């Protein structure tokens, strides 16, 4: 006898915040990745551009810390972005052993394009929610993330 004929998850899962967040995150991650790919960009590219736009010129180590990209991945991401003309990499005048990464004007333009693309994704993902509900959801998720020490 098939007790789950309608393919619904058990009620105890549907009422568990962790399970719901995981299900939403999987779908959101897929959509974000697909949309960024249409702009010839990946998540790490966006994160690095956003960090540089907000923080200004930074060392590669600072970029890794500021945007949550593993330090071993930052070099490849920065290489991609330099190749596309979105960032410049130059020796740090204070310490010639380090590189300073700076977003270019082209990079700022690309970031604005990606911001608009991701705003559309947010609208799609959160369509069932009102503006106030979206604001509250972001606030609550931020609190949970902060509690985990990952803000």
Q: What is the 3-state secondary structure (H, E, C) of 29-58?
A: HHHHHHHHHHCCCCHHHHHHHHHHHHHCCE
147 within domain boundaries = no
66 within domain boundaries = yes
How would you list the strands of the sheet with 58-59, edge to edge?
Answer: 58-59, 95-103, 87-92
Look at residue 131 in the predicted model and tell me its pLDDT.
96
70 within domain boundaries = yes
151 within domain boundaries = no
Separation CA 66–CA 58 (nearest Å): 9
Average pLDDT estimate for 120-125: 96
pLDDT at 96 over 70: yes
Range(s) of the domain holding residue 87: 40-125
Q: How many domains does the chain have?
A: 1
Location of structure tokens 């705003």: 119
> CATH number of the domain that 48 lies in?
1.10.10.10
In 3-state terms the chain splits into helix, strand, coil percentages (rounded to 5) of 65, 10, 25
Look at residue 5 in the predicted model and tell me its pLDDT.
54
Look at residue 151 in the predicted model and tell me its pLDDT.
58
Quick one: pLDDT band at residue 149, thresholds 50, 70, 90?
Answer: confident
Looking at 1-5, 54-58, 79-83, 140-144, which range is the least confident one? 1-5
């Amino acid at each position: 006898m098939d007790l789950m004929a309608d393919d619904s998850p058990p009620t105890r899962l549907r009422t568990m915040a962790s399970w719901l967040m995981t299900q939403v995150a999987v779908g959101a991650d897929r959509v974000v990745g697909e949309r960024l790919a249409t702009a010839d960009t990946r998540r790490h590219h966006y994160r690095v551009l956003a960090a540089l736009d907000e923080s200004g010129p930074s060392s590669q180590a600072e970029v890794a810390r500021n945007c949550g990209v593993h330090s071993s991945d930052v070099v490849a991401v920065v290489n991609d972005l330099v190749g596309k003309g979105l960032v410049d990499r130059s020796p740090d005048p204070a310490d010639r052993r380090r590189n300073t990464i700076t977003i270019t004007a082209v990079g700022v333009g690309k970031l604005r394009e990606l911001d608009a693309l991701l705003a559309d994704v947010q609208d799609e993902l959160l369509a069932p929610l009102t503006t106030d509900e979206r604001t509250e959801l972001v606030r609550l998720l931020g609190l949970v993330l902060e509690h985990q020490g990952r803000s």
